[in-house]
Amino acid sequence: MFIANWKMNGSQSMLLDWLKGVDKTLDKSLQKNCLLCPPVCFLSEASNLISKSNLNISLGAQNIDPNCFSSLTGGIDGAMLKSFGSEFVIIGHSERREVFKEKDSLLLEKLKSASKNELKVIFCIGESLKDKQENQTEKVLKQQLQIIKKVDLNEFMIAYEPIWAIGSGETANIDYIDKVHRGIIDEVSSYQKEGFKGVSYGGSVDSTSSKDILSIKGVKGLLIGGASLQYQEFCNIVLSNH
């Protein structure tokens, strides 16, 4: 799965150009592995364009608000995301953990909301540079994974994103990704959750680094931020898998 996380970027014209470009460059069998996560305001339009042009791309949201609040100004819940055409949702991205101080208790409610609305989850985990330097990566990641045990998810993928690699231009090295992914797979497999679909890597991936990362056995996909904004670069990453 190739996940394009546009973060807070995009416009209607960019969306149109991006979808047209991807359709022109990737055949339908390759489109099947592509997931576009634009800002929520573009989901509905993206869904209409995808159906109208018969594209084979899936859509996801970058965030979800939990159902546990009876009133939440500005909130968007799982049912709304579904009605906009979203099949997936990203939960636990480090930017939201850091900027909005999203803690495990809130992330658990978000996971429950996704589950209730049958949204497929991309659950992000990652260590800081300090954690890495202090050899705490394994411990930190295991801790972040614990809430997965507490909820029945239909389908979910873990996105391993070392915080120091996100948007920094510095990708983690192959041996490091391999070792960390093995550890995550062992840990999550021990929870015996049927919906577990594997581990994706994210952190400054572009078309020069993607092939090597995708050759790692435990890497089931890529979560791509900056490099997903240009359709050509995104497609080059997808094509590097062949």
Q: Does 1 bind ligand PEP (CB under 6 A)?
A: no
- Among positions 38, 92, 162, 202, the unique one binding ligand PEP when judged by CB under 6 A: 202
Sign (positive/negative) of CA torsion 74, 94, 122, 139?
negative
Give, as one character, the DSSP assignment of residue 229. S
Of 93, 102, 155, 181, which residue is the catalytic one? Answer: 93
Give, as one character, the DSSP assignment of residue 3. E
Burial per residue of 182-197, b for 16 or more beta-carbon CB atoms within 10 angstroms, e otherwise: ebbbebbeeeebeebb
Q: Does 75 bind ligand PEP (CB under 6 A)?
A: no
Minimum CB separation from ligand PEP for residue 81, in Å? 18
Residue nearest to ligand PEP (CB): 225
Kindly give, in sequence order, each residue whose CB lies less than 8 Å from that of residue 195, ignoring residues fewer than 6 positions away.
153, 154, 155, 156
Site pattern 105..144 for ligand PEP (x: CB under 6 A): ----------------------------------------
Is 161 an active-site residue? yes
Site for ligand PEP in 213-232 (CB under 6 A): 223-227
Q: Which stretch binds ligand PEP (CB under 6 A): 143-151, 180-188, 200-208, 212-220?
A: 200-208
Chain mean position to CA 87: 12
DSSP string, 48-72: HHHHHTT---EEEES----TT-S--
The size of the interface with ligand PEP (CB under 6 A), counted in residues, is 14
Minimum CB separation from ligand PEP for residue 240, in Å? 15
Of 237, 172, 174, 235, whose CA–CA distance to 204 is shortest?
A: 172
Minimum CB separation from ligand PEP for residue 167, in Å? 4
69 vs 71: CA distance, rounded Å: 5
Assess contact for 211 and 241: CB atoms under 8 A.
Answer: yes
Site for ligand PEP in 12-41 (CB under 6 A): none
Of 95, 161, 170, 187, which residue is the catalytic one? Answer: 161
Q: Which stretch binds ligand PEP (CB under 6 A): 13-21, 134-142, 199-207, 213-221?
A: 199-207
Q: How far is CA 186 from CA 45, 145, 194, in A?
A: 39, 12, 14
User: What positions carry a catalytic annotation?
Assistant: 93, 161
The footprint of ligand PEP (CB under 6 A) covers: 5, 7, 161, 166-167, 202-205, 223-227
